[in-house]
Structure 1
């Protein structure tokens, strides 16, 4: 699994009728995954990123710039979803 790397990507959360979401990335068409809970999104997106990187490497294709990890030692700002359970 990809470790010690941060990626900053816009994600589209498309609610599914049966529950959960389909997650896509408008700047990375190959990134598609699903999640049943908010907590699963990061895990499943990380798995999808790992699979994409491996696919590019296996095909000998250059890794898109958006899949180059950002510097984790520098400050950064990111929109974040925080899930609060209903009382």
Structure 2
């Protein structure tokens, strides 16, 4: 059976695509606290002078909290500073 695509179907599809694109375009850094500074993995590795593998181990063991956004990991600066103190 052949279905006809109506103009309304196309408008609904366009609206859904626009919603999905807007989701993608949202800020890359999590929005939990606007005053909190989030750092990318590369910055954290430089701060701690560690390799990517070491940072991964720290992340896996739960020593620092993180957020993964679009394939990149972000860490709270306050958590990194707290790790320095320990």
Higher Cα Rg, which structure? 2
Shorter-chain TM-score bucket reads under 0.3
Structure with more of its chain in helix, by fraction: 2
TM-score of the pair, normalised by structure 2 = 0.22
